[in-house]
């Protein structure tokens, strides 16, 4: 009995010692486990940070590339828009020029008829009552024709007394004049016309050579006559 009690006491002491040692072992185990858990989490955070940096860097590069592409497309749009605007203006200008060319061609073919009307008006001098009635009828037709030309933008040139301009006039004759200075128009031989500010037909004109030209011509002829008389006198003396 005594031995059994002593054995029980020894076993109890052993159990107590085991219980005293148990908490230490558990805490150390927990600490080691916590340290092991912290290491992967730190590595994970480092990896996530690195991936985030790479993502941000890639996004910045992509954004810069997209901005460059946007700028390129914007420049292309501006250039195409400007080209289209120029094309539209050029087409409009070409259409206007073509219209003026067609109208000019048609009106140029009509102008000789107007010239004939004007010549007839200057030459006809109706005396009888019947001739006057015919003349009034003719004048009415002429006025209608002139009105149609005005509606189309045709206007006659006024050239007599104006200085000669080769862009407007065509000189057919040149003669001395005491009334007009040199290179001024003396007479209109065929009327010129404008169409919307442009020359539809040049005016055929007679241009002054100036008053000095006539005197000089007379002097030249006088000198020739005097030389001829002198030569005749010399010949008679020789004989």
Banded pLDDT at 21 (limits 50, 70, 90): very low
Banded pLDDT at 211 (limits 50, 70, 90): confident
Q: Do 205 and 189 contact (CB within 8 A), yes or no?
A: yes
What are the extents of the domains in the chain?
A: 109-123+132-152
> What are the φ/ψ torsions at residue 178 (nearest 5 degrees)?
-85, -20
What is the pLDDT averaged over residues 15-19? 48
- Spatial distance between the Cα atoms of 156 and 9, rounded to a whole number of angstroms: 148
> What's the DSSP call for residue 192?
-
What is the pLDDT averaged over residues 23-48? 56
Chain centre distance of CA 222: 63
pLDDT in tens, 100-135: 888 888 888 889 988 888 888 777 777 777 777 877
Q: Do 172 and 189 contact (CB within 8 A), yes or no?
A: yes
- Spatial distance between the Cα atoms of 157 and 199, rounded to a whole number of angstroms: 9
Residues 6+ apart with CB under 8 A from 132: 126
Mean of all residue pLDDT scores within the chain: 76
pLDDT in tens, 141-181: 888 888 988 998 899 999 999 999 999 999 999 999 888 88
């Amino acid at each position: 009995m005594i031995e059994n009690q002593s054995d029980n006491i020894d076993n109890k002491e052993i159990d107590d010692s085991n219980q005293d040692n148990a908490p230490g072992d558990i805490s150390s185990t927990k600490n080691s486990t916590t340290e092991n858990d912290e290491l992967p989490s730190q590595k994970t955070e480092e990896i996530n940070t690195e991936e985030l940096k790479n993502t941000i860097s890639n996004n910045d590069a992509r954004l810069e590339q997209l901005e460059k592409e946007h700028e390129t497309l914007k420049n292309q749009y501006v250039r195409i828009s400007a080209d289209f605007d120029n094309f539209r203006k050029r087409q409009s200008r070409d259409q206007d020029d073509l219209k003026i060319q067609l109208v000019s061609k048609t009106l140029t073919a009509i102008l000789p008829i107007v010239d004939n009307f004007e010549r007839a008006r200057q030459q006809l001098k109706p005396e009888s009552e019947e001739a006057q009635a015919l003349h009034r009828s003719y004048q009415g037709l002429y006025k209608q024709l002139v009105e149609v030309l005005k509606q189309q933008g045709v206007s006659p040139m006024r050239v007599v007394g104006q200085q000669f301009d080769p862009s407007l006039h065509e000189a057919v004759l040149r003669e001395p004049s005491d009334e007009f200075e040199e290179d001024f128009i003396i007479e209109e031989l065929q009327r010129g016309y404008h169409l919307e500010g442009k020359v539809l037909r040049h005016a055929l004109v007679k241009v002054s050579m100036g008053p000095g030209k006539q005197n000089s011509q007379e002097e030249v002829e006088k000198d020739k006559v005097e030389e001829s008389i002198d030569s005749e006198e010399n010949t008679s003396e020789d004989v």
